[in-house]
Structure 1
């Protein structure tokens, strides 16, 4: 009878662990091959014998091939870990080629057998490598050229400096850099070597240059597969769902962003909108539509994530949404923060709790400011254009922020139910580029009797308190507009901040609150919570849904990219930029909560 341990060894690794195993092996061998190609003594060490089980064994015969193979293996490893079909195809082609080279040059039967064994493992578990390519564009070719070029120059400097005992003279850093740049293009540089080392260095630099050129050309010429966008038909179907079920979630209207993709349930009664960022399939808010049809839309979402090997995640879903997501998918949920919701019927400026807001509003009104709160459809085209230009100029960042809680447009004809609150002040004959306009708030519909704050922008030269003034004006005008509830900013980790400052809070909670206060210097966590609390809202918890705890850093980084807090996109040199207003004087200190985009931090 064969022992259980032996049977497990004979069966090999589990199918689901093969991609991670092969990807890790490629990473390890790739690093060995790079070291073998750069440092001549390392090529003869016993450690490099491990590299013979993969195509990196070519580095035993030529430093240039070892170097380029190592870089290719590092590039290939991530795709194998993500179950990518094209990465599998590349490995299947590369493994037998490496095995043939080993047998032809060194007659290494062991290396050939191990390479073919790994090939057999990939062929046996080919069904594990079925993920489709990610959305892409040709801008990635330029990004590849910049990153690979920089990496090749850095690695080339190491190659040029790896033979100190055989260098003729004492070349400076400038000479070595010039030698690298010439070598990447296949020309001889100013640094000389003894004993034929110049051939090894020259081939290595040429291989790096060729690798950079080939990968860039491939990315530039391959068919473009742009990121998903919301088609007019998809938008029409989503609007129909929002008309029937839009009152459920205050974030529902933000699903109409046109830079999102969408999957519908088989019945068409529910949908999930998303964006793919850095391999994360990021949904926001609750599914749109009938709650009973949510499981069908969620299943389609998970199938799409599996087909591309994307990491599924949901940002800012409600408690009900989080329960459905976790029940239907087995994912986990973590409280992310709270949404501030004001019931219009309960709002009043009277009372001690509203004293600061009341005094600020009265002071601003005495300074000559007036407010106007109207539906977007009631504004003229000229006024909408002026508001759009002002909002763009008053934006505090170069990129438009927002994803889960921002619409990304103002005054679109299809968004006529949106509410725009503006603050005005006569400029005493010195009208600015936007006339008497000093601040703008934009709200999107929340069902038939609610609205959600989209953005807050103000002229930095205006008096402090513009946001408070306009929020109060919007709340006071809500009964006239048929609005019963207003969703304000989203406050991250609100409960931790609130409990951490209470009497009797434990040491762990106090430390956590202290860390959040420290991070507020950059991300406006505490200031946004305190700004929301001024209006005495009720707090609705919001959650992040994720698959594994180790995915949280990746999901957080992808969310920051989607929200515009981290920009990794290739710059477009000919993109038209919106004129920016001049920076304020040093004595004008912006209010921390002026930029509404921080709600989605």
Structure 2
């Protein structure tokens, strides 16, 4: 029974609150017809000044949204407003005929109280209290400075309406409106603060990251699992500790990077824990790069495919045949130029070679910051991820000119970073991928994940609808900045297999916030590095002990 009440739909209450907000706004509208003003009395009980209506209407609209999101602060706010209305009727300040309506509203709120399970974060409450104190002081000060109100009489005026009465006050001509402006703005800020989702949590600590590192090495972890070890991610563990989700919170959206890592049998529990956390904190849950097999575990959440992970099977890979001619020729060009290669664990890099490779990385990015989220690690060549593998290309003189870093997981290895000196021999990236695939075949690795082919279905066909042609044209124009099309064309040369990946999200109404969060995570500047102890290398995988 309690579970059913907690899951009760709240949209009728949200719709009713939004309707009340519309009616409250009527007195603030210049030239509102008489019937509209009379209708607004159904919810206000007595005429409101335009200043009051101008403030209360958007505040109630925000509360309506809070009701839809099951924010407990919205429930408290509505309860307080209805209780004040009942008190006004009982004291004779309001019409008695409104008492049954107010009593019914109180009954509905009481019945729905278990559904409002998202409580305000203590930081939000403290911020709202500070805002309220500032508003009261600023409004009292403005009222006193206006010259028509003394300090003792200003206090009850503020208490009655935070100065938003619209009453004329003597003094400087611009001061009478200040109390109303300060009070109204302060009220809106307080409402927004109390209804906001919890602030982002701190990244996982070293103990959590070591637990996750062990789960990444589980044979059931897929090729996106290593990217859960990014230093900017927080973690949720399943009830049995056998799986975990790495996520970041941005703009109120909790974005998980790929499927849960660890034992496949425990992933469903990790998903449920993540969704329960989002309900408690008010975050919008989302996943970037969810696998098709796990989509049913996300229950009522929506999803759409946005591309494919590019996979090469070492046991099937060959340079023979006409279809591999471009790759074969690229590799041969580097050999003709005297390029040599080696593959070694990152922890075995000498200090001198590490420094030279970091210079290559800096030149490759031309001073730009490392970016990425779903298929990028961090701490490039810092030794923090000793289980990674590095494929290095040297010119004829033995100087490093390019490198690629691969991270290891239970299922295989995944390309993390691909850097080369500008002006280096053409084909060096293809050469390093071929060398790594050959290395993986010797180590018995099942799969090598190269990149992510976003919108592959759109790029992989010539028969497009009008909308698809527009989308393809946009991708082509944006390619110098996001390299979607050029990366797809590069990967296609290796004749890979593709694994569909999806974006999972709660509601179509969240798309604006979701897009802002995903674009910022993928293309925004990464958080600055902090000193950390190295994570343990995966046991029994390439590059491990």
TM-score (norm 2): 0.73
Equivalent position to 1:468, from 404, 415, 430? 430
Deviates more, 1:361-370 or 1:535-544: 361-370
Of residues 31, 41, 60 in structure 2, which corresponds to 1:41? 31
When the two chains are superposed, the root-mean-square deviation of aligned CA atoms in Å is: 4.7
CA distance in 2, matches of 1:107, 1:217: 27
Unpaired runs of 5+ residues, structure 2, are 132-141, 148-166, 530-545
2:378 pairs with one of 408, 433, 449: 408
The alignment of Structure 1 onto Structure 2 pairs a total of residues equal to 492
Q: 1:113-161 CA deviation, whole Å, 9 max, x = no partner? A: 54453333222211111113479799x99xx9xxxxxxxxxxxxxxxxx
1:378 aligns with 2:348: yes
Q: 1:451 aligned to 398, 402, 413, which one?
A: 413
Aligned mates of 1:409, 1:16 — CA distance in 2 = 43
SS at match of 1:244: coil
The 8 Å contact of residues 185 and 206 in structure 1, kept in 2 or not, is answered as no
Q: Is the 8 A contact 2:200 2:248 kept in 1?
A: no
Q: Secondary structure at the match of 1:46?
A: helix
TM-score under structure 1 length normalisation: 0.67
Q: Which residue of 1 aligns with 2:203?
A: 229
- State the partner residue of 1:285: 258
Matches for 1:201-220 after TM superposition, within 5 Å? 205-212=178-185
Q: Which residue of 2 aligns with 1:245?
A: 219
Change (3 A) 1:372 1:216: farther
Once the two structures are TM-superposed, the CA of residue 79 in structure 1 deviates from its matched residue by 1.9
Any residues of structure 2 matched to 1:92-491 within 5 Å, and which? Answer: 92-97=79-84, 100=87, 107-110=94-97, 113-133=100-120, 205-212=178-185, 226-246=200-220, 248-323=221-296, 325=297, 329-331=299-301, 333-363=303-333, 371-381=341-351, 383-384=353-354, 387-388=357-358, 391=361, 394-395=364-365, 400-423=370-393, 438-447=401-410, 450-460=412-422, 462=424, 467-479=429-441, 483=445, 485-491=447-453
Deviation of residue 518 (structure 1)? 3.0
In structure 1, distance between residues paired with 2:367 and 2:11 = 39
Cα distance in 1, alignment partners of residues 319 and 88 from structure 2: 82
1:515 corresponds to 2:471:
yes
1:530 deviation in Å?
1.7
SS at match of 2:217: helix
- What stretches of structure 1 of length at least 5 have no aligned partner? 1-13, 145-182, 189-194, 428-434, 577-601
Moved more, 392-401 or 22-31: 392-401
Q: Take 1:469 and 1:32, find their aligned partners in 2: how far apart are those partners?
A: 69
Over residues 224-243 of structure 1, what are the superposed CA-to-partner deviations in whole Å (9 max), with x where a residue is unaligned?
95425222222222222233
Q: CA separation in 2, counterparts of 1:403 and 1:363?
A: 33
Rate the CA distance shift 1:233–1:272 in 2: closer, same or farther, 3 A. same
Q: How does 1:585-596 map to 2 (within 5 A)?
A: none
Structure 1 residues 342 and 114, CA gap change in structure 2 (3 angstroms)? same
Moved more, 416-425 or 483-492: 416-425
Pair 187,527 (structure 1): closer, same or farther in 2 beyond 3 Å = farther
- 2:65 corresponds to: 78
Is this contact kept in 2: 1:30–1:71, CA < 8 A?
Answer: yes
Q: Residue 559 of structure 1 aligns with which residue?
A: 518
| 1:449-469 Cα deviation digits (max 9, x unpaired) | x31012334455656655434
What is the CA-CA distance between 1:83 and the residue it aligns to? Answer: 0.3
- Cα distance in 2 for partners of 1:530, 1:184 equals 68
> 1:346 & 1:209 partners in 2: Cα distance?
70
Report the Cα offset of residue 54 of structure 1: 5.1
| SS of alignment partner, residue 10 of structure 2 | helix
Distance 1:383 1:35, change over 3 A: farther
- Tell me the distance in 2 between the aligned counterparts of 1:263 and 1:210: 41
